[in-house]
Amino acid sequence: MVCALLWSPLALAAAKSIPESGSYLFAYFSASRSSKGDGLHLAFSNDGLNWKEIKRGKIYFKPRQGMFRDPFILQGPDQTFHLTWTSAEKEIGYANSRTLLAWQDEKYLPVMANEALARNCWAPEIFYIEEKKLFMVYWSTTIPGRFPETGNSGDNGLNHRLYYTTTAEFNSFSPTKLLLDPGFNCIDADIVKAGENYIMFLKNETAKPVKKFVATLTAPSPEGPFSHPSEPLTPAWSEGPSALKIGSQWLVYFDRYAKKRYGVVVSEDLERWQDLSDSLKMPRGARHGCAFPVSREILDRLKSTAP
């Protein structure tokens, strides 16, 4: 796949009016008070470019224990919202809600319990496999000694690859499997379906030499096999990609964590991209979140409910 960024002023001006009106949410955490994250925040937008925090940054969910970073929300076929987050070394956090206001079934999924040396479970996300009626939960993990060819490429000895499990009801899970080894240290995968293909947005986490950018891969199934990665979609020091389709456009948001701001690129064909970061307005302090569509009813209820 070839990815070209279009930077001309004419292309940028044309793209500003592309997004169509709708109801969209952005779930994120803030590390302004603690590096462990303070809980789930929500922002809303009607156009995908102008995001406003709901209820002055109200926290909609805070776990009983552990960290709360990298939240991801997927609405399942029964309309239940499923939330995952980075929680602890060999576990990921999980809870669900029908309204986004009240959360239940909070638990910690020991997805790497079978790997005694696993150092972490980062940025878990969920994809619903319609053909199998299964949820696919995927994340990145470092297991020391695995993939020695890139063992010295990361920060603090970290050398991630992607892993996954599947479940029908978030109570029992299939054995954890390797999802992707692209030949480099990688984190922060986000999978979407586009036509007959599945697109993965992925951060190249290589630090030596510095890569730290987002690229795309394609596959005939969310379980792979995935293609070679594209050229970079984003500048170096970007992470946490989240794709949202509005009309005919794909918007991919990314956390420019070194600059403490968010960015976004836009495409119609998932190959040629326009950078609209200068037109993007995000809540102050938003970190590594995800964008998703919601009904107007859900959004109105969130905005009208007392703090």
C-alpha pair distances (Å), 18 with each of 15, 31, 162, 260: 5, 32, 33, 26
Contact 274, 266 (CB under 8 A): yes
Q: What is the pLDDT of residue 2?
A: 47
What's the pLDDT band for 20 if we cut at 50, 70, 90?
Answer: low
The single-letter code of the amino acid at 130 is E
Does domain 4-304 match CATH 3.90.1150.10? no
Report which of 110, 112, 68 is spatially closest to residue 87, judged by C-alpha positions.
68
Q: What is the pLDDT of residue 69?
A: 96
What's the pLDDT band for 10 if we cut at 50, 70, 90?
Answer: very low
In angstroms, rounded to a whole number, what is the distance separating the alpha carbons of residues 294 and 131? 23
Q: What is the pLDDT of residue 5?
A: 58
Contact 166, 129 (CB under 8 A): yes
Q: What is the pLDDT of residue 248?
A: 94
With a cut of 80, say whether residue 291 has pLDDT above it.
Answer: yes
With a cut of 50, say whether residue 39 has pLDDT above it.
Answer: yes
Share of the chain above pLDDT 70, in %: 92
Give the pLDDT confidence of 238-254 residue by residue, as tens digits: 999 999 999 999 999 99
C-alpha pair distances (Å), 180 with each of 8, 119, 133, 228, 289: 35, 18, 22, 11, 22
Give the pLDDT confidence of 129-171 residue by residue, as tens digits: 999 999 999 999 999 999 999 999 999 999 999 999 999 999 9
With a cut of 90, say whether residue 117 has pLDDT above it.
Answer: yes
Quick one: tokens of 91? Answer: 């576990």
Q: What is the pLDDT of residue 12?
A: 37
Which secondary structure element, helix H or strand E, spans residue 138, and what is its range? strand 134-142
Quick one: tokens of 181? Answer: 């080894």
**Distance from first CA to last CA of the chain, Å, rounded?**
46
Give the pLDDT confidence of 175-195 residue by residue, as tens digits: 999 999 999 999 999 999 999
Q: What is the pLDDT of residue 8?
A: 34
Rounded-to-10 torsion of CA 230, 6, 203, 237 = 140
Q: What is the pTM of this model?
A: 0.93
Report which of 253, 260, 203, 195 is spatially closest to residue 45, judged by C-alpha positions.
253
**Dihedrals phi, psi of 56, to nearest 5 degrees:** 55, 40
Q: What is the pLDDT of residue 133?
A: 98
In angstroms, rounded to a whole number, what is the distance separating the alpha carbons of residues 263 and 241? 10
With a cut of 70, say whether residue 3 has pLDDT above it.
Answer: no
